Structure 1
């Protein structure tokens, strides 16, 4: 699977897709939706759709697609190749949600939780299929939140399409299993081939499963925690695991607010004001420090006067 477009800039989300089979533009089609990487603190979450003509359901089933979680990595890769080879009647599309996108969305002022982000990704993919000419009649999807509410939401978005939302849909409907395989293969490739924008030297890529409970993942998070700038963009910094480590292991600063002057409040709490970072001068004879990439990327520089 070629993720070149995402790898060019993995700080933002990206949509990838196969060609639309002509058969899908001329016959009634079914479509499955599933995701990979919802729970990990590392790497992207990938939403996938797979679609084929209703008349080809048995052909899709004959490929022996199954829930990606029950398959080995090699089995998933082989099944994805089979799906790709069946391009005369099978199509797929992916929405890769970067860790940066996930965290920025969840921490924005207006509430936008992971369920809402997932719903919007799924809706966007279904709309993409319809806009691309797929004659969509049936949609099958694993539940995110209450199944009834999700099904009603999708039905309202796509009138005339029969929507079925079921728990464990990836093990019940082959077209959802196929979507699950596409999403999981894409996430595996994205995690393995992650290009770090940050200068971390020879990065240790033995970060385990990426799930917060994994000891290897915990160890990696501790190793690559910058005490001032936090984590590389590979980490979902909105996850409680990352937040807890930042709170306990990173440098504590006091942010200015309207209630109390930042410098005075910091001094009272025996703390460091964030403003002091900008005003700090190099000691006599010392070479000025190169600015962190956070500032150079944003064209920020210190000034003495306004």
Structure 2
């Protein structure tokens, strides 16, 4: 029996328990299918000896200083929020040093899930590589790092860099990564053990929220919705959207009225406001920053528009969803 391959999971602030569970499940079942430990997982935190989840829980993890390059393996950033803005200066510096070290080691594959590819790009690890990233920040990342190629697919496996969009895309990515290492039959067996009917390809588009799906099928309308979802920070004029999907502006308005009972401008505004609401609830971005990443040119315009739509201001929204953190001990009981 050979030495198990090292899998180093870097948990970044606001990571999703779902994503972590999915990653651990893939490798646990890979070991089970093989009948011996192919992979050894350890989790590390950029915050010290613990990592904070998206839902406010805290998990134990090893500090980054204890992660050393061994015989090679996979280093995977697990990020589901804007971790680059939640990390302190010292933590950011430690993470940057670690990424540079592992990125230069040919024995290691470096990857990311969710929003993590933006951190890889920030530290130069995606230069010359294709990468997938959470669709909600894809347009922003493409603008911030114009020399990198961020795709709208579920995942990308490009030589020794792997990346996945949000949610279940990380499972598909890891299954295909296992397939490259052990063969497609092995990967299919792991997929069956996970209860999956099929392995999705990396070229499949990331799903947008159900609210963005047309009630009745229309290829051009679907393309228009995807363009809107991918361009929240810098909203496209209706004329540009119509031209890109191959219809006139009047035809585009007719499609929206027919299938969604609204106008493109109204739908686009609602999409941006709902995205802003998620950002206010799930990130530590300032209210002004949230407004800017959702396409509003000033704080006052954002606040007024938000209040007119939801009935309360962005500041009141954030206050309504600020809850005390509840930690959980090993027995799963709540600790006040």
Q: Which has the larger helix fraction? A: 2
Per the normalisation by structure 2, the TM-score is 0.27
Q: Using CA pairs under 8 Å that are at least 6 residues apart, name the structure with larger relative contact order, 1 or 2.
A: 1
The structure that has the greater radius of gyration is 1
